[in-house]
Amino acid sequence: MPHKESAAPKIHPSAVVGPEVELGPGVEIGPFCMLDGRVKLGARTRLIGHVTIFGDTEMGADNVVHPTAVIGDEPQDLSYSGAPRQVRIGDRNIFREGATVHRGCEKGLVTTIGSDNFIMHNAHIGHDCRVGDQTIIAGGALLAGWVQVGDRALVSGNCVVHQFTRIGRLALTRGGSRMSRDIPPFCIVDGVHTLRAINVIGLRRAGFSAPAIAALRRAFTALFGARQNLRLAVERLLSSGPPTPEVAEMMEFIRASRRGVAFGPRAARNGEFEQ
């Protein structure tokens, strides 16, 4: 059945909706929500109740925001003086209870979240973060300012990600991990930014072929099977023959790193690189 784009927004009598707020067709604002400032909600977005959104914030269509979530509040940055900053969010995202998304900071501009993401309870996305599409940010995970999360990455429960850290596409961070170094695409990390393996299960679910996964596993062992100069390891791997597109993506991510890349374990254990 096609969507009824002409449906008027539904606003609970207890909700507070400011004069600058723009609501698309079919939007539902539940009880005790507060929308203040320049807020724009796309078609059929639903705020279940007790949701707070501050402007300048724009959300696309079909988002669902659960109680006590706060989106667009001031950044947790002592230098912030109230300058106009933004949050931009795509379509079909789910924000569970207590999730927070902060606007850009004094030296930044905009916090962006793509589409089809699942932001679980009490997760925090700090100022100026860049979150891609189809990610999962699990309960209690904390993304500090300027963090980048690639498409289909999974940040598990209670993970702590330091500011400016990048997490690559289809990477997986195990629960309780701490990261202040970049996490290459397709990798699994745990502990204190320690790489353990290629995210084989995630790659299979994403439709990657067996040869593509095998090439990534070989590259992972060559790069992270022993502590070594990573730039030299990348050059050796390149000299061994043309890389597959996925291996090339991993190496380009490593070469672009400014914070430094997470490292492999100090000594491989039995089955260390297996999944």
pLDDT for 220 equals 96
Whole-model pTM?
0.92
Q: Residue 270: what pLDDT?
A: 47
Cα 13-16-21 angle, rounded to 5 deg: 115
157 is catalytic: no
φ, ψ of residue 258 in degrees (nearest 5):
-110, -30
Average pLDDT of the segment spanning 120-148: 98
Q: List, for residues 67-97, the tens digit of each pLDDT value.
A: 999 999 999 999 999 999 999 999 999 999 9
Range 1-10 average pLDDT? 72
* Annotated catalytic residue within 66, 102, 127, 193: 127
Q: Is the dihedral of CA 146, 150, 152, 158 positive or negative?
A: negative
CATH fold for the domain made of 10-146: UDP N-Acetylglucosamine Acyltransferase; domain 1 (2.160.10)
Q: Is 193 a catalytic residue?
A: no
DSSP 245: H
What pLDDT score does 169 carry? Answer: 98
| Secondary structure tally for the chain: helices H, strands E | 4, 28
Q: What is the pLDDT of residues 149-205, one digit of tens each?
A: 999 999 999 999 999 999 999 999 999 999 999 999 999 999 999 999 999 999 999
55 is catalytic: no
Among 60, 140, 145, 157, which one carries the catalytic annotation?
A: 145
Domain boundaries, the chain: 10-146
Dump pLDDT digits (tens) for 211-226: 999 999 999 999 999 8
Q: CA–CA separation, 134 vs 30, rounded Å?
A: 26
Catalytic residue among 56, 62, 91, 128: 128
